[in-house]
Each structure stands twice: as structure tokens, then as C-alpha cells.
Amino acid sequence: MQERVRAELLRRIERGTLSVSLLARQTGLGQPHISNFLHNRRGLSLKGLDKILEAQRLQVEDLMPARREESKVGELAAVEIPLVTHAIAIFDPHIRASSALSYAPFRSDTVRGLEPRCSNARRQWDRFVAVKMNAEEGQGMEPVVRPDAIVLLDRHYTSFRAWHEDRPNLYGARLGANLVVRYAQFQADRLILRAHQAHVKAEVIEPGLGETANDLLVGRVVSVVNDP
């Protein structure tokens, strides 16, 4: 539990919604005490944990990983992947049970044995998420991605290297605060996003300060369900 609380607090600090000083004011715990906890140099008492959970409005179930249960799709084994909002898919390293809108079944062999290609920091993220696309977000991607399609993303694949040599990767990518599905390539330190339909203009994205073009990739599209 302490590890999950620590991970969630660090996630909030990284996103800029929390600071050590703010948490100290909220809980009455000393800043050095909180800093030592965040850096894994000491633990917290049950009373201290309760103060943090209350101050940050966290429930125990929020800290538990989203379930990924084995089931059946026809006669084939399946795994249920959390279906989340686009903001959760883009920004949240750990998918809490309360973050899942529902669960989307995919064949187990769809996600089995996939090679990760991402930074070591990104490998700490929960790997697979599913998102639903609307007409605007999937514009120009028909018939590959149709409106209301459910898209399975591998967030441990943020490399521009082709997964299959004979065709380009399809990615979930961050465009402003939105998630779009596009073909992506790296060019002159910029991210180029291209639609499936040639008449749709390509988007050229400059990474923000301290970012790389890879950071703008949410993950590789592993599977698309166009008739959910």
C-alpha cells in the first residue's frame, strides 16, 4: 500500500498538481518527513497514511491496479483491458480501478509477447489501455479507424521504429490536450502526424520544453475494434 501511495503522490507532483510543501500543509506532516517517504528512505505510520489519503481524497480502491481478468471470446482466451478517457491514457502512469470506464475484451494473444520499445521511465507505466474514438479524433483515418472504434494502445511502445517492416506503425498521439490516432514519423526533432486519407493535411508538432517527439506518442495501436 505504501508503494502505491508513494507512486500516486509522485505522479501528482510530476503533473504539477501537488508539491511537498502543499502536502505538508494539508496533512500537518513535516516536509522532511514527506520528502523521505517520497524518496523511499522511510515509511509512514498508519496515521500518516490516513492523513495523506484524506488530504488527497484518495480511496484505497483508487490505488489498486485496474483488473485484467481472463475470460473467453468465443472459444479463445481473452483479457479485459481498462477502457479509459483520453486524458488518463495520455497522462496517468498507473491505471486505477476507479479510472476505468469499463473493460474491453481482447484476445490474449493480441497482447502476449509484444516487445517494449520505450524509455526505462515509461516502462514503469501500466502498459495496455483502450480508448474510444469519436468522428473528429479519427478524422481522415477511415476505414482503418471508424467513428466509435475502440483502440488498444501499447504505452510501452513509443519508438518510431516500424513494428512490421512492410507497413508503418499506427499510434495514439498527443495533439494539444487531445489524443488522436495517426501514422507518425520523426523529422528534424518534430513529430509529423499523417492521416490514412491523403487529402487530410499532416500535423507538424513541436515538442514542448524538456520533451522529445517520442514523448508525444501515447502508444502504438495494437488493435482496432471498429464494430464494438
Angstrom distance (rounded) from CA 57 to CA 43: 20
Q: Omega before 143 cis (within 30°)?
A: yes
Residues 83 and 57 in one domain: no
Residues 120 and 182 in one domain: yes
Largest interatomic CA distance in the chain: 60
Q: Which of 63, 98, 114 is the last residue of a domain?
A: 63
Q: What is the mean pLDDT of residues 71-85?
A: 72
Task: Identify whether the C-beta of residue 136 lies closer than 8 Å to the C-beta of residue 181.
Answer: no
Residues 109 and 209 in one domain: yes
Predicted confidence band of residue 65 (pLDDT cuts 50, 70, 90): low
Bridge partners for 72 per DSSP:
77
Q: Which of 38, 63, 88 is the last residue of a domain?
A: 63
Angstrom distance (rounded) from CA 48 to CA 129: 32
CATH number at residue 127: 2.10.109.10
Bridge partners for 204 per DSSP:
192
Residues 85 and 153 in one domain: yes
Residues 27 and 135 in one domain: no
Predicted confidence at residue 75, as pLDDT, reads 47
Predicted confidence at residue 215, as pLDDT, reads 93
The count of other CB atoms within 10 Å of the CB of residue 84 is: 23
Angstrom distance (rounded) from CA 129 to CA 187: 27
Most trustworthy range by pLDDT among 6-10, 37-41, 94-98, 171-175: 171-175
Predicted confidence at residue 151, as pLDDT, reads 95
Residues 14 and 75 in one domain: no
Residues 82 and 195 in one domain: yes
Predicted confidence band of residue 218 (pLDDT cuts 50, 70, 90): very high
**How much is the pTM?**
0.69
Residues 19 and 108 in one domain: no
Q: What is the mean pLDDT of residues 53-61?
A: 78
Residues 11 and 118 in one domain: no
Residues 39 and 76 in one domain: no
Task: State the Cα angle at 11 between 121 and 122, rounded to 5°.
Answer: 20
Residues 14 and 80 in one domain: no
Grid coordinates in use for 53?
Answer: 489519503
Residues 126 and 154 in one domain: yes
CATH number at residue 14: 1.10.260
104 Rama class: left (phi>0) / alpha (psi -120 to 50) / beta: beta
Domain that holds residue 94: 70-225
Please classify residue 219 by burial: count the beta carbons closer than 10 Å to its beta carbon, then call 0-12 exposed, 13-18 middle and 19+ buried. buried
Total domain count, the chain: 2
Predicted confidence at residue 222, as pLDDT, reads 95
Separation of first and last alpha carbons in the chain? 36
